Structure 1
């Protein structure tokens, strides 16, 4: 069997857009991905639908897989002839143990590449408004581990060199050792009034910061139960934060949104929400499989008076079927409608006039085009499956882990179909905690969506009259928006 190849990839600090081009290309061609807890799981959306995903995450109090097991698994998968991506948070060469993994591959004569990433010790301060170097505040910068392999986990460092020779110091994962760090820096000459900032979940919308000095930061962190993952930045350069704090001023900073999905294509709404500073958890993760074409519908295609498309993908697939079957589109006499603004846009992009589902008359011969998720209240309609959309169950445990660490405060339901999926696949199967329905603002994009939500016992906090991404963004940014 031909040997495979490994790519040891830095996933960046958290913001999904901070992955390198080369790292993203590796993910897109991967057959196996071994990923860590701190690698943003949204990056896995770019992997092929048949890619094997293996969680290697570590928590402070337990290991899912120990490093030796990860090394062995990495070697085994490459020996199977697979393209294997080892996806690690930040930069794999900065406290990422990439040297051990690369050595295991080299010792077995296996091919590998190391793809650098943006390390959190630089990125997290920048997202908190603090460059790690500045001509007026510091010309030297050090990255330091705040833990080592000793029994007490307290690193044996050149404290005198750090205290007297380095202007700015970034300690990785150092919250539990804050008293030890502060004490040693002060003892070796650092002023007890030296500014310190703790940055938790840097570059995510759930980024939290805590400022203090070497003399009081440990007590402050204990008082508010500040935890890892976090960067501890020490130095006078921290004072720049007040002037340069940019990320936390984004209009949707702090918004942690669950966006109910019905399609397999990349979500423009999710992308725009993230651009405005929000964290977005898209649920569920779908993949498509082909189905046989229903020739009975094809033969009667000219008889339908309305055709309702359930997703943008269904528009593309319907046109492909017509072409494959040699059917002139002019034979289709029906008016076109979409279950969402995205579906309507997909139709208009193909040159067809279309309206939203809510504008569709309740009489006439109706064909619903899409997958098995048929909208409520359309029992009389014919159905044409262009493909079968199924939930990618590999992502179920990923969603659960993400939701455990997030503090979701907003739920966005784009269409009536998304409501059904959100409840039946998320809430009822306990992938999504039911408590979120009580603690989150529920936004329904359109009256039909709100009606579907009510049928499942959900009360919308906001019903948008214009169910499009611009209205959602405006509403969440607290601008004027049309709603009822």
Structure 2
């Protein structure tokens, strides 16, 4: 039998938010076997890959550890030669200072099929998101893009890119500079020495096209000082030219939560769904997702003897159907089985697979799900519970008390990404609200605080999706306070959590008005 040939796609993720990726790029992600991604790609994009997809982080930001390019090339070749569909996911565009050309040449040299899928480069997207068009008929008919950072010498020292600054300063139009924040003062000085006027409009855009975006406008002469005063850090894009004086942005966000910074925790899937609802209300969302759902290796039990399927999360639904595919189980084996779900989010995910829930409790927690299934199932029937390892005891306790037979099958385990948790702990300190969707999220976040030897500022208000989540918070506060205020959603859904924050803000505004 001829071995299946692999293929590599060099996919540009675009700049900033996940929905700026192209339709073709997203299609590649949704069917790949392996994805190699860098630190500038939106975390939500990794949720678009199949559950069985192998995810490999190959890049970090300036001054951090990064996988050498030779090792990345070797991995691309290795995975493709295994017959796999591989996506090399890059922030921006692969061919704009993304080393995509080097990877393409390495793959072509080994006879590996490879295709480049363009993305929106930060050189264009970041200025645009700040209301700066890089070209404009009245003041800029050309744009020059360069990187200000280069590595040279035996010691591989990083320094300002050696270039003919006199020629650069004489160019008309717009200069867009990437990877230049660590050399901003030196860069501006060289351009002015070469003849660029000090009063030339200039700007820096940090975290462009994201909810964390910040920008500074100044002149070339005052830009470095203005950026330092504002506390802007990489990644950022520098714009020099008359267009930097323009402001064509859409204006301020609208909604009940406009102007608020809300940090969301949990798995990437849960955080993405919650973030979408918060953005609809105008909130600026800080992604603090640090949990990942890792599928267990155990095979599903034979389904013939079960009358009920029971799901406690959207993750459980997705991992169940992924295991069915991997184990080549026929969907017809589910015929005649009734399905119970914990709440609307799980119900909605189930419907994506063409199945509709037979039962859902009025209160969306494990305790009430257990009570409902116990009341509906006959004594001789058997329940298959498909959920995370170490799930809530309330569900099985209610079935035990009713004398209902069940199998509590661990579909996946929740693991903390320690690096992302470290980032989450730092970033959450800048939020007005910190949202938790599970007790495990609360406990893992607390572990991150202890590891970093820090605490949340008292001004950060915590909101929990349900009583169990809030109970865990109360339990650990006895040993390590997380913050001064805690809210609990009345409805245990992402919508309920958002509504909880909205109600709190309304109450605060009413109090101030009074």
Shorter-chain TM-score tier: 0.7 to 0.9
Which residue in 2 is equivalent to 1:268?
Answer: 273
In structure 1, list runs of 5 or more residues that go unmatched: 302-306
403, 422, 427: which one aligns with 2:424 = 403
The answer as to whether partners of 1:196 and 1:211 remain within 8 angstroms in 2 is: yes
**Contact 1:123/1:203 (<8 A) preserved:** yes
In the superposition, the TM-score normalised over structure 1's length comes to: 0.79
Instruction: Find the counterpart in structure 2 of residue 450 from structure 1.
Output: 470
Q: Indicate the residue corresponding to 1:465 in structure 2.
A: 490
Would the alpha carbon gap of residues 117 and 267 (structure 1) be closer, same or farther in structure 2, given more than 3 Å must change? closer
CA gap of 1:325–1:468, structure 2 versus 1, over 3 A, is closer
Cα displacement (A) at 1:463? 2.2
Q: Which residue of 2 aligns with 1:375?
A: 392
| CA drift at 1:425 | 4.7
SS in 1 for 2:470: helix
| TM-score using structure 2 length | 0.75
Contact map agreement 1:202 1:230 (CA 8 A) in 2: yes
Deviation for aligned residue 1:481: 7.7
Q: How many residues align?
A: 461
Aligned runs of 1:284-295 on 2, under 5 Å?
284-288=291-295, 291-292=300-301
Residues 307-348 of structure 1: per-residue CA shift (max 9 Å, x gap): 986335668979x9997465475xx9xxx783x453476799
On the 8 A contact 1:193/1:213 being kept in 2, the answer is yes
Whether the 8 Å CA contact 1:129–1:246 is kept in 2: the answer is no
Q: Distance in 1 between matches of 2:370 and 2:110?
A: 67
Asked whether the equivalents of residues 168 and 235 of structure 1 are also in contact (C-alpha less than 8 Å), the reply is yes
Change (3 A) 1:238 1:25: same
Q: Are the counterparts in 1 of residues 202 and 220 from structure 2 also a CA contact under 8 Å?
A: yes
Contact 1:94 1:119 in 2 (8 A): yes
Task: State the partner residue of 1:214.
Answer: 220
Query: Structure 2 CA distance, aligned partners of 1:167 and 1:433?
Result: 46
Determine the structure 2 residue equivalent to 1:342.
345
Q: CA deviation at 1:95?
A: 0.6
User: For the aligned residues, what is the CA RMSD?
Assistant: 4.1
Aligned 1:411-422 pairs, distance under 5 A = 411-414=434-437, 418-419=438-439, 421-422=440-441
Aligned to 2:410: 388
Residue 350 of structure 1: CA displacement?
4.0
2:200 is equivalent to residue 186 of structure 1 = no
Q: Is the 8 A contact 1:205 1:254 kept in 2?
A: no
Which residue is 2:135 aligned to?
133
Q: Hey, what does 2:511 align to over in structure 1? A: none
Q: How does 1:26-425 map to 2 (within 5 A)?
A: 26-150=28-152, 153-223=159-229, 225-241=231-247, 244=249, 246=251, 251=257, 255-261=261-267, 268-275=273-280, 276=282, 277-288=284-295, 291-292=300-301, 298=307, 310-312=312-314, 324=333, 327=336, 338=342, 340-343=343-346, 350=357, 354-357=361-364, 360=368, 365=374, 369-371=385-387, 372-375=389-392, 377=394, 380-382=397-399, 384-385=406-407, 387-391=409-413, 393=415, 396-397=417-418, 399-400=420-421, 402-403=423-424, 406-407=427-428, 409=431, 410-414=433-437, 418-419=438-439, 421-425=440-444
Paired with 2:270 and 2:111, the residues of 1 have a C-alpha distance of: 39
2-side partners of 1:47 and 1:206: how far apart?
A: 25
Q: Which moved more, 1:93-102 or 1:140-149?
A: 140-149
The residue number in structure 2 matching 1:304 is: none
CA contact (8 A) 2:58 2:72 kept: yes
Which of 194-203 and 467-476 deviates more? 467-476
> Could you tell me whether the CA contact under 8 Å between 1:138 and 1:167 is conserved in 2?
yes
- Whole-Å separation in 2 of the counterparts to 1:407 and 1:315: 30
> Could you say what secondary structure the match of 2:160 adopts?
coil
Offset of residue 438 of structure 1: 5.4
Equivalent residues of 1:131, 1:237 under 8 A apart: yes
